[in-house]
Amino acid sequence: MGSYVIKRIVGLVPILFGISVLVFTILHLVPGDPASIMLGTNATPEAIAALRTRIGLDEPLITQYLSWLGGLVKGDFGVSVHTGEEILPQILKRFSITLQLTLFAVLIGWTIAIPLGILSAIRVHSKTDIVVRIATLLGISVPNFAVGTLLLLVLSLYFGWFPPIDVVSFWEDPGEALQVFLLPAVTMGIVIAAGVLRMTRSAFLETMEKDFIRTARAKGNSMWTVVFGHALRNSSIPIVTIAGMQIGYLLGGSVIVEQLFSIPGLGQYVLEGIYQRDYPVVQGGVLFVALVFVLVNLLIDIIYTWIDPRIKY
Amino acid sequence: MAPMLEVEHLSTTFAEAGRTLTVVEDVSFSVEAGETLGVVGESGCGKSVTSLSIMRLLGSSAKLDGSIRFAGTDVLRLSEKEMQSIRGNRIAMIFQEPMTALNPLHPIGRQIAEPLRRHLGLSRREAAERAVHLLKEVGIPRAEEIAAEYPHQLSGGMRQRVMIAMAMACQPQLLIADEPTTALDVTIQAQILELMKKVRQEHGTAILLITHDLGVVAEMCHRVIVMYAGQIVEEADVQSLFADPRHPYTVGLLRSMPSISGEQERLQAIPGAVPLLHEMPAGCRFAPRCSKAMAICREQMPELFVVSATQKCRCWLYREEGEA
């Protein structure tokens, strides 16, 4: 297991290298020049040229890439062209907010999805099942900007409640943070719940047909023991898989939800970088997101071995 | 002494897509303590559904009629909770596929300990010790180590021994074995049958042995019922069944079994196929495939006629010999 983890981490190097090439190339192919965007439409060509020289944009692409890569190897993500701030501390700060939002959203999503998914599966084709399935379909099909807007409107218009403007972390002020993150987390939680619920239901339906479930019942176990003692763990591989994918994506920053609720997370940071053609910010942000995604996947693979003794690496 | 298990006029029907399908129809039999009753028939003849009916493990779409008396109690009248205290405790079951019948994610020892903890209220430790003891009893070497292993680390024969250890954990009065040797190699089959005999001898367990293998029947059973298309077509003690089979279906079954002695001759397959559940013929269900079918066979369902002290047969050929 230890050697497997080391192998996977070493395997990260080529992946991250590939992503760095890709993001650098694509970004430089996009039309729009950071210098002219920063200086506005009235800037003189001389001023633009001077700024380009200062931030190194007049160098050949390969030189620009290599100098960026050289910095990365030393853990230096560079500075923002726009604000001059160090990028890595900004990424980490934004990531901590995205992380809190994601975990809160996942908590909400799973709390809804897993019990309902199980209930829906063990009472398949019942009225409960039908209601749950319709709700799931709604959760998947309604886009989260619509859900978020609706939540905001209903709560502010009818209940006079607005989430606080300033974002605080859970470890600074849990009560305040709860108010800050509640609406965006519910918005994201609904989408998470829909996906996890579908997977839980179908995984359970399949597991409950298995021979060993019949054996478990033939031993005189109650339905509760059969479901939670035998079926749950046997159904959890696909559930963990989809949950891992979702967490991976969400940790990259949910751009729409962060935008909608003015949460200064990673998604918003990268989005602003794109608007301003702030190359180092976008490159650094995307690379960081890729790293997180790959690490989450590694974690999921390790969880598999803990769930199922037949899985060995 | 009253029989351990007495099934009377059991019918099992399933409601499916607006119609009802009768899978088991008017089946009656009994098994005494220490006795082994074989249930023989092709796939789909209702033998497994019969056994799952006794365990009441068929799910909500199944409707059971008749009575199933186990040690004097009609299990069809028990609540699900009362039934749970019987399953795995006083009636236990062994299934065909030991690979899929064991939970792949739980260690062997824990799976055997489960009914002990559930029914006998043993502590985790006592149950674990007892599980190891049971593994030794069914002839598993290195029982302590095996108890900590998972089903995929064991061979098929070992897994079936584990199933037997699990079934015997609470010393049930009735053991239902549904094709216990079908998925195993021939040499392993013999070992498993020996083990079941040992269990029967030591504990006086009544065994209901479901199989399509007549060799297993000859080896294990005292009496046999032959099922065809959801009905019992012949009931006999094991000697009479092999020496003097009465029902044309039983005769066909025996003829389609290869034998080592005697001349090499072509095996005689029974022509045709088992009728579909919703297309049952009006008269005898075997009539369309029967070489001796008469006019009456296609019109009227024969009863189970008594043909001798130990034999009954559902066939119009024996109307003269006995009465139902």
Residues A172-208 have pLDDT tens digits of 888 889 988 999 999 999 989 999 999 999 999 999 9
Q: Residue B60's pLDDT is what?
A: 82
Q: Which residues, including other chains, have CB under 8 Å from residue B263's CB and lie 6 or more apart?
A: none
Helix B186-203 to helix B156-168 angle (10° resolution) is 10
Interchain pair B118, A211: CB under 8 A: no
Q: Nearest C-alpha of chain B: how many angstroms from A111?
A: 24
Q: Residue B324's pLDDT is what?
A: 47
Least confident of A77-81, A89-93, B242-246, B257-261: B257-261
> Do A91 and A284 meet the contact criterion of CB atoms below 8 Å apart?
yes
Grade residue A41 by pLDDT with cuts at 50, 70 and 90.
confident
Structure tokens at A287: 């690379």
- Stated pTM of the model: 0.84
Task: Identify the contact set of chain B against chain A, taking CB-CB distances under 8 A.
Answer: 55, 57, 81, 84-89, 92-93, 95, 97, 100-106, 114-115, 118-119, 150, 152, 163, 166
> Do B183 and B98 meet the contact criterion of CB atoms below 8 Å apart?
yes
**Element of type H or E holding A240:** helix A232-251
Distance CA B276, CA A128 (A): 34
Nearest alpha-carbon partner for B135 in B110, B106, B100, B172: B110
Distance CA B162, CA B98 (A): 8
Q: Mean pLDDT of all residues in chain B?
A: 91
The answer, yes or no, to whether residue B191 has pLDDT greater than 60, is yes
Q: What is the pLDDT of residues B125-178, one digit of tens each?
A: 999 999 999 999 898 999 999 999 999 999 988 999 999 999 999 999 999 999
Task: Provide φ and ψ at A176, rounded to 5°.
Answer: -65, -45
Q: What is the pLDDT of residues A2-31, one digit of tens each?
A: 888 898 889 888 988 999 999 899 888 887
Interchain pair A219, B118: CB under 8 A: yes
Distance CA A54, CA A81 (A): 10
Give the number of residues written for chain B.
324
Sign of the C-alpha dihedral computed for residues A60, A62, A63 and A68 taken in this order: positive
Percent of chain A with pLDDT over 70: 100
The answer, yes or no, to whether residue A32 has pLDDT greater than 80, is no
Helix (H, G, I), strand (E, B) or coil at B227: strand
Residue B118 CB neighbours (<10 A): 22
Give the number of residues written for chain A.
313
Q: Which residues, including other chains, have CB under 8 Å from residue A209's CB and lie 6 or more apart?
A: none
The answer, yes or no, to whether residue B262 has pLDDT greater than 70, is no
Q: Residue A130's pLDDT is what?
A: 95
Interface probe with A: pick from B57, B79, B114, B154, most Cβ of A within 10 Å: B114
